[in-house]
């Protein structure tokens, strides 16, 4: 079978191939999917050969090769083939010069419909598996990094992926990013560099707060509609709010306790003085705005107190505000009493 | 929100004291720890490198040159490398995970291996599909037990199909969309040079491929495996798979239906609750067990690998053939050129000879004329 095929191919090449000095495509028995070659032309090799000889003569029109019908100019009389054909038409394409051609997807993820994304995901997962056992650094010591945004990634990948799928990528990137920097392999570094956003300067680094030249730590606290601007400095436990003492400003014991709660829970009440202005809202709001302000000012002096203050509920801004009244309701949610007719 | 019970109470340590303890970090067991610990242990640490008999050398730790995490890690790796050969060794034991990474070939497959992988476990009898009756061996504890002879024979048949399709340049798509099947699917496709799908099948990937697969890159490859040097095609006609291996047919009805519409043969793992007519080549087995699925996919992958190897050998043969033909053509061309040159030479010789001959003839003619002129004129008789 093979021997016969070879001789057939050889004969055909002898007849056709050498005349045109190219490999002529012929079906091979063991090659699947015999299908017309891409860009197959209607004219034969002899046409091309003749046209080439015409072009070679440059200007000398050979009357033997005037076709009776031409493309696009039917009814206009005889058309010179040399005018129609350009050098590009005559040069056979790569596919035409091959013995046989088949179409093959570039990526193994072709049938997923988004090959770039799936390939990227698989590459990152392979990296993660490879370096799973490398030591990592604690999350709070990881340098801040911004990955490419979804829009940027989609522009590079050429197809759009959903945010949740893109999150799969960034999750792996975050995991790779916490590998101990001295042990970070080069291939991981390259990959991370590719996924990093170009404008790394845009990373918002939190400004480190320090005590000012008078030894004061400053903190701003808000609660409901109150705003407290607080200065905390080392001292013996004096507290002045809007120029008045704590007891003068807050009648309720509960509010007094709230205002200096951060000092109370950390056992620092006799070690710092507080000087604050508080504005807006009611007494409770003002007291709890002070809590946040005092806590923030205290953390300027002693950053290590943050976990303890967080446990005491002094670090997080309480974002709850008065709920608006809705039409048809008596208050925010209260409905008018039902009346029988 | 303020948490009132966070106030320190007498008898409990103050929060500030609690803070002295460092946060837990992931370090290795031999880490020297914080500096205070290092100073405490500084006296007892050896100042000279340990003897070579220990197998691995670790430089001495001093207060000014403590071990970094990198040193620790490298030491640990060295230690692992050198101590990995020590200890007792188990031989000839069943390690199921090995079938995932190094799957057996179809000829090495045994009924015992299938049973150990849980291939015989079907579904509760109430869930059965009567189409599977001939694959079912019996009922035990309310579930159907699949006859493993059927599994083995059907798996071997499917393996032959994969083998042959891969050998004749077929495009094989491996599909497994259940959780945990991803690596099996990717590995199987990789073994046979095929394509993988471990996420949801986009409906219309075959019937509406012009839309679904638009923009995916396709390249032309010739019979010798060389790609078109001008890169991927512009706006290609989408490629269809020539064979689809589906590890969970129940969830991929749409895919199998599309394959049926286009006459694409399919291989599927059919549990007792699945319809065996959905696929062309069913493999009756437990599709809920990852171990069983990885074994079946691995066997098919091995078969595809064998086909791929034969195909590569064939392509290599074609390549050699082509090179020989090119050489012959070159030789012929050279011969032709030589012949022409010889011809030209002969022609030139002939021309010279003729010229010489003409010249000779001219001379002779001239001589004759001269002689005739010199002859005394004969008297005329008339």
Which tens digit of pLDDT belongs to each residue from A71-110? 444 444 445 555 566 666 677 888 888 888 899 999 999 9
Question: Tokens 């011969």, residue?
Answer: B335
pLDDT at position B38: 45
pLDDT at position B12: 57
**d(CA A254, nearest CA chain B) in Å:** 11
- Separation CA B274–CA B157 (nearest Å): 19
pLDDT at position A63: 44
Interhelix angle A150-157/A163-177, nearest 10 degrees: 100
pLDDT at position B347: 86
CB-nearest to B189 from A108, A115, A264 is A108
Residue B259 near residue A111, CB atoms below 8 Å: no
Contacts of B343 (CB under 8 A, 6+ apart): none
Candidates B290, B318, B138; CA nearest to A28 is: B318
pLDDT at position B56: 53
> Within 13 Å and on the Cβ side, how many CA atoms surround A7?
3
pLDDT at position A203: 56
Residue A27 pLDDT > 60: no
Give ∠ CA B147-B130-B141 in degrees, rounded to 5.
55
Residue B208 pLDDT > 90: yes
Which tens digit of pLDDT belongs to each residue from B8-61? 666 655 544 444 444 444 555 555 444 444 444 444 444 455 444 445 556 667
Residue B106 near residue B159, CB atoms below 8 Å: yes
Which tens digit of pLDDT belongs to each residue from A200-254? 565 566 678 889 999 999 999 999 999 999 999 999 999 999 999 999 999 999 9
Instruction: Identify the bridge partners of residue B246 per DSSP, sorted by sequence position.
Output: B175, B268
Tell me how many residue pairs between chain A and chain B have CB atoms under 8 A apart.
160
**d(CA A46, nearest CA chain B) in Å:** 22
Lowest mean pLDDT, pick from A38-52, A116-130, A214-228, B211-225? A38-52
pLDDT at position B241: 96
pLDDT at position B18: 44
Q: What is the 3-state secondary structure (H, E, C) of B91-147?
A: CCCCCCCHHHHCCCCHHHCCHHHHHHCCCCEEEEHHHCCHHHHHHEEEEECCEEEEC
Mean pLDDT estimate for chain B: 85
Chain A, nearest residue to B220 by Cα: A103
Residue A331 pLDDT > 90: yes
pTM: 0.62
Instruction: Identify the bridge partners of residue B269 per DSSP, sorted by sequence position.
Output: B283
Candidates A125, A246, A115, A119; CA nearest to A176 is: A125
- Separation CA A12–CA B366 (nearest Å): 61
Q: Is A130's Cβ below 8 Å from some Cβ in B? A: no
Higher pLDDT, B378 or A336: A336
Main-chain phi, psi angles of A234, to 5 degrees = -65, 140
Which tens digit of pLDDT belongs to each residue from B286-340? 999 999 999 999 999 999 999 999 999 999 998 898 889 889 999 999 999 998 8
Main-chain phi, psi angles of A228, to 5 degrees = -120, 125
Q: Is B186's Cβ below 8 Å from some Cβ in A? A: yes
- Model confidence band, residue A116 (pLDDT cutoffs 50, 70, 90): very high
Which two tokens mark A219?
């903190």
Q: Which residues of A touch B216 (CB under 8 A)?
A: 105-107, 110, 113, 115
Residue A20 pLDDT > 80: no
A-interface mutation test, from B25, B180, B223, B241, most A Cβ less than 10 A away: B223
Chain B, nearest residue to A266 by Cα: B15
Question: Tokens 């190897």, residue?
Answer: B309
Q: What is the ipTM of this complex?
A: 0.72
Residue A35 pLDDT > 60: no
pLDDT at position A33: 39
Mean pLDDT estimate for chain A: 80
Candidates A131, A42, A123, A115; CA nearest to A85 is: A42
Contacts of A79 (CB under 8 A, 6+ apart): A66, A67, A69, A70, A73
Residue A151 near residue A84, CB atoms below 8 Å: no
CB-nearest to B212 from A38, A105, A113 is A113
Q: Give the residue extent of every domain in chain A.
A: 5-111, 115-202, 216-311
Q: Is B202's Cβ below 8 Å from some Cβ in A? A: yes
- Separation CA B213–CA B194 (nearest Å): 17
Local structure of B172: helix, strand or coil: strand
Q: Is A158's Cβ below 8 Å from some Cβ in B? A: yes
Touching A: B residues 32-91, CB under 8 Å: 68-70, 72-73
B-interface mutation test, from A113, A154, A266, most B Cβ less than 10 A away: A113
pLDDT at position A80: 54
**Is domain B109-311 in CATH 3.40.50.1100, yes or no?**
no
- Separation CA A168–CA B228 (nearest Å): 34
Q: Which residues of A touch B27 (CB under 8 A)?
A: 135
Cβ distance of A104 and B218 shorter than 8 Å: yes
Beta strands B218-222; A101-105: pairing state = antiparallel
Q: Which residues of B touch A314 (CB under 8 A)?
A: 2
Residue A134 pLDDT > 80: yes
> Within 13 Å and on the Cβ side, how many CA atoms surround A102?
17
Helix residue ranges, H only, chain B: 15-18, 35-41, 69-83, 98-101, 111-116, 148-167, 182-191, 209-212, 253-261, 290-374
The mean per-residue pLDDT over the stretch B78-105 comes to: 85
CB-nearest to A291 from B2, B23, B171 is B2
pLDDT at position A37: 44
Chain A, nearest residue to B198 by Cα: A112
pLDDT at position B85: 84
- Which fold, A216-311? Ribosomal Protein S5; domain 2 (3.30.230)
Listed in order, strand segments (DSSP E) in B183-273 are 195-197, 218-222, 243-246, 266-270
Q: Is A151's Cβ below 8 Å from some Cβ in B? A: no
**d(CA B263, nearest CA chain A) in Å:** 14
Chain B, nearest residue to A27 by Cα: B223
pLDDT at position A46: 64
Which two tokens mark B298?
């691995």
Q: Give the residue extent of every domain in chain B.
A: 109-311
The mean per-residue pLDDT over the stretch B88-107 comes to: 84
Q: Is B254's Cβ below 8 Å from some Cβ in A? A: no
Q: Tell me which long-range contacts A52-55 makes (C-beta under 8 A, separation of at least 24).
A: A52/A90, A54/A81, A54/A82, A55/A82, A55/A85, A55/A87, A55/A90
């Amino acid at each position: 079978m093979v021997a016969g095929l070879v001789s057939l191919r050889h004969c055909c090449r002898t007849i056709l191939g050498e005349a045109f000095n190219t490999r002529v495509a012929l079906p091979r028995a063991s090659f699947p999917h015999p299908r017309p070659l891409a860009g197959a032309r209607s004219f034969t090799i002899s046409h091309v050969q003749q046209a080439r000889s015409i072009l070679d003569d440059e200007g000398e029109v050979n009357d033997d090769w005037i076709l009776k019908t031409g493309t696009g100019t039917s009814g206009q009389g005889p058309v010179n083939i040399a005018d129609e054909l350009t050098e590009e038409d005559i040069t056979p394409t790569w596919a035409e010069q091959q013995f046989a051609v088949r179409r093959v997807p570039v990526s193994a993820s072709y049938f997923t419909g988004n090959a770039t994304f799936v390939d990227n995901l698989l590459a990152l997962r392979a990296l993660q598996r490879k370096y799973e056992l490398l030591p990592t650094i604690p999350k709070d010591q990881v340098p801040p990094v911004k990955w490419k945004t979804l829009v940027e990634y989609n522009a590079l990948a050429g197809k759009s992926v959903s945010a949740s799928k893109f999150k799969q990528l960034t999750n792996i990137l975050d995991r790779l990013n916490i590998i101990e920097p001295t042990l970070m392999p080069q291939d991981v570094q390259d990959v991370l560099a590719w996924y990093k956003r170009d404008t790394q300067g845009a990373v918002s680094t939190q400004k480190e707060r320090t005590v000012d030249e008078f030894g004061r730590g400053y903190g701003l606290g808000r609660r409901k509609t109150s705003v407290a601007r607080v200065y905390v400095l080392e001292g013996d436990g004096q507290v002045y709010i809007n120029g008045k003492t704590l007891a003068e400003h807050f009648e309720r014991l509960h509010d007094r306790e709230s205002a200096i709660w951060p000092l109370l829970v950390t056992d620092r009440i006799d070690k710092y003085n507080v000087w604050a202005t508080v504005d807006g809202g009611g007494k409770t709001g003002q007291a709890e705005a002070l809590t946040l302000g005092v806590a923030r000012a205290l953390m300027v002096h002693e950053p290590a107190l943050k976990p303890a203050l967080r446990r005491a509920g002094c670090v997080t801004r309480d974002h709850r505000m008065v709920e608006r009244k809705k039409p048809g309701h008596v208050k925010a949610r209260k409905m008018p009493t039902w009346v029988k007719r | 929100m303020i948490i009132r019970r966070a106030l320190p109470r007498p008898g409990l340590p103050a929060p500030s004291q609690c803070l002295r303890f460092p946060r837990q970090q992931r370090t290795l067991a031999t880490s020297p720890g914080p500096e205070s610990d290092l100073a405490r242990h500084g006296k007892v640490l050896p100042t000279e490198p340990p003897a070579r008999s220990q197998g691995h050398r670790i430089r001495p730790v001093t207060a000014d040159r403590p071990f970094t995490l990198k040193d620790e890690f490298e030491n640990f790796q060295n230690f692992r490398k050198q101590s990995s050969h020590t200890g007792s060794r188990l031989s000839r034991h069943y390690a199921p995970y090995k079938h995932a990474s190094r799957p057996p070939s179809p000829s090495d497959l045994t009924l015992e291996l299938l049973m150990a992988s849980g291939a015989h476990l079907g579904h509760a009898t109430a869930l059965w599909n009567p189409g599977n009756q001939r694959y079912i061996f019996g009922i035990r504890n309310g579930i159907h037990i699949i006859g493993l002879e059927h599994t083995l024979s059907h798996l071997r048949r499917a393996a032959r199909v994969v083998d042959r399709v891969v050998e004749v340049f077929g495009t094989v798509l491996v599909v497994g969309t259940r959780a945990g099947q991803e690596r099996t699917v990717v590995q199987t496709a990789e073994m046979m040079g095929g394509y993988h799908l471990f996420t949801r099948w986009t409906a219309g990937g075959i019937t509406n491929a012009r839309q679904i697969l638009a923009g995916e890159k396709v390249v032309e490859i010739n019979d010798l495996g060389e790609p078109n040097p001008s890169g991927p095609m512009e706006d290609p006609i989408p490629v269809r798979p020539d064979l689809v291996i589906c590890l969970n047919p129940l969830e991929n009805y749409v895919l199998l239906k599309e394959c049926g519409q286009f006459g694409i043969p399919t291989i599927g793992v059919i549990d007792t609750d699945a319809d065996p007519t959905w696929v062309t080549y069913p493999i009756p087995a437990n599709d809920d067990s990852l171990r069983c699925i990885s074994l079946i996919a691995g066997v098919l992958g091995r078969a595809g690998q064998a086909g791929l190897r034969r195909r590569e050998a064939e392509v290599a043969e074609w390549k050699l053939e082509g090179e020989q033909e090119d050489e012959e053509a070159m030789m012929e061309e050279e011969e032709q050129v030589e012949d022409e040159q010889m011809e030209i030479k002969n022609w030139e010789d002939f021309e010279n000879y003729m010229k010489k001959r003409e010249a000779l003839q001219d001379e002779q003619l001239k001589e004759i004329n001269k002689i005739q002129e010199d002859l005394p004129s004969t008297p005329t008789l008339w």
